[in-house]
Every structure is written in structure tokens, then in C-alpha cells.
Amino acid sequence: MKNYKFRVRGKVQGVWYRASTKRKAEELGLCGFVRNEPDGSVYVEAEGEESRLQALAEWCRRGPELARVEAVEVEEGEVQGYLGFELQRHAG
């Protein structure tokens, strides 16, 4: 079990990025959350098997059809033990 933190930059708010990320994460059997950030980016924290996290990272680099992803920063974090995958409205 690993924890990955993603910061996705580009045209990623208002294009169904969060809902699409939640659906993809659930398909992959991952737990965690996704939320919009005040700076216009999207933040994702996900936990699960490394191969599944890599698949989510690959998906995040494309995103949903209307998104225009410019950059995805990925770092490993501490496992939090999330249950399910949440769509959060915004930071804070």
C-alpha cells in the first residue's frame, strides 16, 4: 500500500476533472480524495497498490476530454488509511 499526492495544473477546473478522477480512482480500487485548489489546480491524494497508482498518474496526465493538462507533479506521502474515494469541494 502506497500513498501518492498529485498536483494537476492547466485547464482542470470546470471541466469535470474531479468527478472523472473519482470515477477512475474507484475503477482502479483506490481510496483517497480529489479537490479544487484556490490557485486553479486540482489536488489528488490516492492510496493503493503502486501499479494502480501509476495507472491513475497516467490518466491524470490526460484527464477528461475538456481538460487541458499542462503539468502533473507526483510525490509519495504517508499512508493515511482512507476508506473510499471522496470528491471534496475545495481546500480547507
Q: Is residue 68 within 8 Å of 56, Cβ to Cβ?
A: no
Domain count, the chain: 1
What is the per-residue pLDDT across 36-82, written as a single tens digit (0 to 9) for each?
A: 999 999 999 999 999 999 999 999 999 999 999 999 999 999 999 99
Q: Which of 3, 7, 9, 18 is catalytic?
A: 18
pLDDT digits (tens, 9 = 90+) for 29-43: 999 999 999 999 999
pTM (2 d.p.):
0.94
Residue 8 lies in a domain: yes
For residue 21, what is the enclosing H or E element?
helix 17-27
Domain that holds residue 70: 1-14+28-53+60-79
Whether residue 21 lies inside any domain: the answer is: no
The CATH number of the domain where 49 resides is what?
A: 3.30.70.100
Active site residue 3: no
Region for 72 from its dihedrals, namely left if φ exceeds 0, alpha if ψ lies in -120 to 50, beta otherwise: beta
Active site residue 68: no
List the catalytic residue out of 3, 35, 36, 52: 36
Within a domain: 10: yes
